[in-house]
Amino acid sequence: MRLNRVDLNLFVVLDTIYTERNLTRTADVLCVTQPTVSNALARLRKTFNDELFVRTPKGMVPTPLTENIIGRVRESLQMLETSVLEGDVFDPQSCDRLFQLSMNDDTAATLLPDLMETLGREAPGISVQNYLVRRRELFSALASGQLDLAIDVIGRADPQLCHEPLFKERYVCLVRPDHPDLGDSISMEQYLAMGHVHVSSRPSGLGIVDAELNRLGYQRDIRLRMQNHYTAPEVVGRTDLLLTAPSHWARRTQLKALEMPLVLPGLQLNLIWHRSADNDQASRWIREKIMAFYQQIRG
């Protein structure tokens, strides 16, 4: 096979099908039609004289040949991307670019005021769009370029994703200051007997608290499950309900913080980006600004 006879864009299609395992999603990621993807796959099959992917009820399953070449294909695409990016000279003052970030509203409220102030001063042409991408969709969004950065816990481990820890925070129990049943501490029996407010961006599924309780053979009584991080303290302040939350929430409210009656894994948030953007100078610059901010608030 002579490389000058092969459309290099076909390798981008190969990599995306391998990631998505679905031709329709591949078309969406690449912003082309599904017939275009099917045509590209047909050309790839002819080039390699192999099916490359087999359609199954679980999606497009790669053949052994595809599994053998995908690593080198990705490395080659990464080298091409790096060559282009390293040829650019980055000047924050003249950069005109939109960065798309994924983080929940609590993280956004902590970071964005400082970040936007910094951008206004040092890189006025950079704009930011923030929206929350579901954890199971982060890899696809970052791999496709639909998303530049994410601040979240590490879900799916993948060598194509880079990450940097930002901070780890412990959990506390938040209740109203004049709670009739609680003083300056809470026992496990009291914790389990109380009604709870649970904040999650997902409509269902277990969080860190409930996963650990289930592991210990316990279950709490969730009276309110909600997505809004800022309405939850208002609810707790006017009821006898309890909110289990990161300790920095206590500094934002008039609620009383009590030590947890059980040991929970700390909340570890990370800055996450795709390997293809690792040497992108603009991405590197804004990542450094974000990491510097969290280093500052960690003290």
Could you tell me if 153 and 177 lie in one domain? no
Instruction: Give the pLDDT confidence of 160-185 residue by residue, as tens digits.
Output: 889 999 988 889 999 999 999 999 99
Could you tell me if 175 and 255 lie in one domain? yes
What b/e string do you get for 100-116 counting C-beta neighbours within 10 Å, with b at 16 or more?
Answer: bbbbbbbbbebbbebbe
CA distance 299 to 281: 27
Q: Let me know if residue 91 belongs to a domain.
A: no
Could you tell me if 247 and 283 lie in one domain? no
Please state the pTM of the whole predicted model: 0.65
Could you tell me if 157 and 279 lie in one domain? yes
**Which two structure tokens, joined as six digits, stand for 294?**
């969290």
Q: Let me know if residue 204 belongs to a domain.
A: yes
CB-based contacts of 2, cutoff 8 Å, min separation 6: none
Secondary structure of residue 226 in the 3-state scheme? strand
Most confident of 5-19, 78-92, 97-111: 97-111
Could you tell me if 201 and 255 lie in one domain? yes
Residue 290 sits in a domain of what CATH number?
3.40.190.10
3: pLDDT strictly greater than 70: no
Most confident of 71-80, 215-224, 259-268: 215-224
Q: Which domain holds residue 34?
A: 3-86
Q: Let me know if residue 25 belongs to a domain.
A: yes
The amino acid at 185: S
Domain count within the chain:
3
Instruction: Give the pLDDT confidence of 139-150 residue by residue, as tens digits.
Output: 888 877 789 999
Q: Residue 63 — left, alpha, or beta (φ > 0 → left; ψ -120 to 50 → alpha)?
A: beta
86/256: higher pLDDT:
256
- Read off the pLDDT of each residue in 214-229 and give the average, rounded to a whole number: 90
Let me know if 274 is exposed, middle or buried by CB neighbors in 10 A (0-12, 13-18, 19+).
Answer: buried
88: pLDDT strictly greater than 70: no
The runs of H, that is alpha helices, within the chain are 9-20, 23-30, 34-48, 64-86, 105-122, 138-144, 188-193, 208-215, 231-237, 281-298
| Residue finishing a domain among 86, 112, 129 | 86
For residue 2, the model assigns a pLDDT of: 53
| Residue finishing a domain among 29, 52, 86 | 86
Residue 45 sits in a domain of what CATH number?
1.10.10.10
